[in-house]
Every structure is written in structure tokens, then in C-alpha cells.
Amino acid sequence: MDRNIHRDSIRNVKDTFNSAIRAIDLKFEKGNFQKIWEINDHVKSDGDENSIWFWTSYFDFKDFDNDKLIAPIIVYGTNGMNGFDDGRIKFIIYYKGKKIAIRQQNGVLDDERKTEIDNSFYSLPQKLKDNIKAKMALMEKQGKAIFTATW
């Protein structure tokens, strides 16, 4: 597969993929846009991943603690050589100006899997944590992840 072909370079054969993603949160205030946060990521350069994309069915934009501000939950992932089995998943949560991440490396074998949770996740409101845990459980049920039991 030609790694220089992106979704915006569609050819007749169905071999297009996304090698990078980007999301920007803008706030319009006093006639100008101000960037609040940005997400940039890409497939690993070692060739073990072949596509990355936003998993919008797991997104949430809700006010979890009734402070009149939404706490965006953005989820994206990659496909590896074995599809979801060895791809990555990343949750990005923006809460009160802080970026909090959950990083998952899937793997065919138990010792290949790794779940990393930012320490600040544990201080989030319970309703927000429960929402994310439910998304993780759904991913497991749908065969898109096996999170490590020790997280």
C-alpha cells in the first residue's frame, strides 16, 4: 500500500486511508476566533498501522457537572496489521481547560496490550468517569478493544 495516498487522494481502487487527523476547537468572541485546543495525531511511522480516524460514535459533548460548560470527549483510533486487534485507541477529554487522555494499545497477545490513564482522570466528576467507562465497555463488547484489567 502506498503510504502517500490519503483520503483526499482517492483513486479508482479502494486503498485509500487516513494517515493523520486534526481537530480544532475555536471560540468566537469579540469578532475573532480564538483557538481553545487542538488535537493532532498520525499513524505510526514504523508501518504497523495503516489508518487513523475519529470514532464519532463514541464522542460526547455534554455538561457533566452542571457548570454550563461542555466537557468534550473525543475518541479516535487506528487499524494495525490485524485490524482493531493491534491498533491504538485514544480518548481525549477536555475538562475545565485541562486535556486528559486515555491511551490504549491493543494487542493480539495479553502482554502486547497496554492501557495508560492520565492521573487527572481520577479527579473528574463521577458522572463523566462513568460515561467514559461505559464507552470502554461498549468498545470491548463490539470487539474494538481489550483494556487491561489493572487500570
Q: For 58-97, what is each residue's pLDDT tens digit?
A: 999 999 999 999 999 999 999 988 888 889 999 999 999 9
- The pLDDT score that the predictor gives to residue 12 is 54
Residue/partner pairs of 121-125 with CB below 8 Å, 24 or more apart: 121/93, 124/64, 124/93, 124/95, 124/100, 125/64, 125/65
Angle at 54 between CA 52 and CA 59, to 5 degrees: 155
Reading the chain (151 residues) residue by residue, the pLDDT tens digits are 444 545 545 555 555 578 899 999 999 999 999 999 999 999 988 878 889 999 999 999 999 999 999 999 999 999 988 888 889 999 999 999 999 999 999 998 888 999 999 999 999 999 999 999 999 999 999 999 988 877 6
Angle at 90 between CA 87 and CA 94, to 5 degrees: 170
Domain boundaries, the chain: 20-141
- The pLDDT score that the predictor gives to residue 13 is 55
- The pLDDT score that the predictor gives to residue 77 is 96
Residue 43: closest CA among 20, 9, 10, 75: 20
Running DSSP on this structure, what letter comes out for residue 3?
T
What kind and span of H or E run contains 134? helix 126-141
Residue 49 · residue 17 · CB < 8 Å = no
Considering Cα of 113, then 87, then 146, then 118, what sign does the dihedral take? positive
- The pLDDT score that the predictor gives to residue 45 is 82
* pTM for this model (two decimals): 0.85
